[in-house]
Amino acid sequence: MEKRKKTLAVPMEERLVGAGNRLVDLLMWALRLVTRNWATRLGTVVILTVLSVVTALALIPKMEYLPQGNRNLVINILIPPPGLSYEERKEIGEHVFAEAKPYFGKGKDGVPGIRNMFYVGSDFINLFGAISNEEQRVRGLLPVFSRIIRGIPGMFGVSIQAGIFQTRLGRGRTIDVDISGNDLNRVVQAAGIAFGSIQKEIPGSQVRPIPSLEISYPEVRFHPDRDRLRAAGMTEQEFGIATDVLMDGRKIGEFKPEGEKAIDFILKASDQEFDTPEKLYSSLVATPVGRVVPLSSLAGIERTAGITEIRHLERRRTITLEVTPPENIPLESAMDTIRDQILGSLEKAGMLEGTSHRLSGAADKLTEARRTLQYDFLLALAITYLLMSALFENFLYPLIIMFTVPLAAAGGFIGLTLVNLLIAPQPLDILTMLGFVILIGVVVNNAILIVHQALNYIRNEGMEYKEAVLESARTRIRPIYMTALTSIFGMLPLVVAPGPGSELYRGLGSVVLGGLALSTVFTLFVIPALLLFFVGMEKPGSGSAGEQRGGNLRGRE
């Protein structure tokens, strides 16, 4: 039985060896064909290089900033109508919980279940959020929460999944459109026009105005009477502090016990709450001269309307529109649409007159990161070239080897495109772009093997130029394909394996894998064809003669 197994194993080994030899013969036949004369060599270099560059330019997708990941947290920021009381904010929270209750603990109608949920309703922010008991499907809660928000009369807001790199509330994958001007009414009008245009031109986008597009929020103003304050021995600043003490209290210092966190000291008049401005206006304050007088004797009261927050950008009143584009629209594409189509058209039509605008937030960071990566890519090219120049003691051969970089870039974009088509949507974010920097140091290895071996054959063994280049390619085919295949199959799980976190490294793996695969095939034809144009400056046998002289000297010693 053992003898029979042995006899069966030998033919299998022979078949594998035979298949490898036939593949080598096929590749060498194609290589001899493309290196037959100077015209075929030039055509091979030009066609494959131009094809790679055109492919790369055609497949370059619009960029994202950072990967969002799949963080188990959904945030919903509400923009309420003006004049909501605390009781009304509380009712909104109860309504939100009542609408979300069917999804507590378990999923329903294909929507994942809610494990924990919270609501915050205050005078400066309204939001609610949730954590799902199905971490990989938390994004399925977004349509439910969007429907709940739309069901509240006069309310609108945004529902977003928090990103893994997000550090500020609502500032994940957002484009900030800053609209500034000296006239607040004009700024609000221009921001409202831009708000509607963005929602129309980018369907599915969520736009959050900061602070608001409303300037009719009820507002009560106390106007200090300077003469009465002077008579009471108070300044306007002291009057403001006293008013703070009467309402929510004023921080006057900190106490930090050893080994514990600091505790704020808050000075507050009493625990009573002033639920109306009139009660606050009739309350008593102590003056520096020792008298207690009502607040109404020191200031006048005015009921008016205003805005919830005063924001300035470069000393001009500013309203910011936080735009979160849908997942199927890259951040760079949304930036181009907002800057060129929306704001550009509105500016030409005169609808933004008296205001200025700019893009900031993640859009600003993306522009800066893209510029930095471009310089990093060029720096990596320069370092690789200079390092090879030092090792080859020549500035021409490293330049030939660098021709593999555009071949690898085309393969990287092909790999990224195939992942988008066959596996899962994968944007060209910053982590994915790092794959192209990594490719520079990886794909030149195959070309180095061919060039170095060809120079050895010419210098040390005195081979004719074409024979040396073809023999170098033939002897290097097996090592090149062995290292390429092991690298490709080793990185394949990064691209095809699903699971938590796969969206972070899938793009990088697809770029490196695609670039290495395509450059391995193209390098075998481009590098020999290009090398034959310049290898003629080498003197056959120069290396062996040098070694022989060195051996004679050592023998004499």
* Boundaries of domain holding 289: 217-306
The answer to whether residue 338 is domain-embedded is no
CATH of the domain at 154: 3.30.70.1430
Using the Cα atoms of residue 448, residue 406, residue 49 and residue 52 in order, give the sign of their dihedral.
Answer: positive
Please report the pLDDT score of residue 513 as a whole number. 92
- Round to whole Å and give the CA distance between 151 and 393: 73
The answer to whether residue 205 is domain-embedded is no
Please report the pLDDT score of residue 7 as a whole number. 46
pLDDT along the chain (557 residues), means of 10: 46 74 85 88 90 90 83 87 81 91 86 90 84 86 89 85 74 84 87 90 88 78 88 87 83 81 81 75 84 87 79 85 88 89 89 88 81 88 90 87 89 92 87 88 88 88 87 88 88 82 84 91 90 83 51 38
Instruction: Say if residue 282 is in the same domain as residue 399.
Output: no
Chain centre distance of CA 167: 14
Instruction: Say if residue 237 is in the same domain as residue 276.
Output: yes
User: Do residues 500 and 529 lie in contact, with contact meaning Cβ atoms separated by under 8 Å?
Assistant: no
Q: What is the pLDDT of residues 303-357, one digit of tens each?
A: 887 777 778 888 888 889 989 888 888 888 999 899 888 998 898 888 888 888 8
Instruction: Say if residue 247 is in the same domain as residue 133.
Output: no
The answer to whether residue 379 is domain-embedded is no
Instruction: Say if residue 422 is in the same domain as residue 540.
Output: yes
CATH of the domain at 265: 3.30.2090.10
The C-alpha angle 346, 351, 353, rounded to 5 degrees, equals 115
- Round to whole Å and give the CA distance between 62 and 490: 28
- Indicate the residue among 125, 142, 161 that finishes a domain: 161
Please report the pLDDT score of residue 411 as a whole number. 92
Read off the DSSP letter of residue 224: E
- Round to whole Å and give the CA distance between 337 and 339: 6
Whether the predicted model's global pTM rises above the 0.95 cut = no
Q: Among all chains, which residue has been given the structure tokens 């988008």?
A: 420
Please report the pLDDT score of residue 556 as a whole number. 37
Helix, strand, coil percent values for the chain (each to nearest 5): 55, 15, 25
- Round to whole Å and give the CA distance between 122 and 251: 20
Instruction: Say if residue 129 is in the same domain as residue 225.
Output: no
What are the C-alpha distances in Å from 170 to residues 78, 128, 130? 11, 12, 14
Please report the pLDDT score of residue 171 as a whole number. 66
Instruction: Say if residue 55 is in the same domain as residue 76.
Output: no
Burial state string for 52-70 with b = 16 or more CB within 10 A and e = fewer than 16: beebbeebebebbbbbbbb
Instruction: Say if residue 47 is in the same domain as residue 78.
Output: no
Please report the pLDDT score of residue 170 as a whole number. 60
- Indicate the residue among 161, 179, 209 that finishes a domain: 161
Please report the pLDDT score of residue 555 as a whole number. 39
The answer to whether residue 138 is domain-embedded is yes
Total of domains in the chain: 3
CATH of the domain at 398: 1.20.1640.10
Instruction: Say if residue 111 is in the same domain as residue 224.
Output: no
Instruction: Say if residue 285 is in the same domain as residue 153.
Output: no
The answer to whether residue 457 is domain-embedded is yes
Q: Among all chains, which residue has been given the structure tokens 């403001």?
A: 240
The answer to whether residue 315 is domain-embedded is no
Instruction: Say if residue 237 is in the same domain as residue 263.
Output: yes
- Indicate the residue among 121, 143, 161 that finishes a domain: 161
- Round to whole Å and give the CA distance between 107 and 130: 13
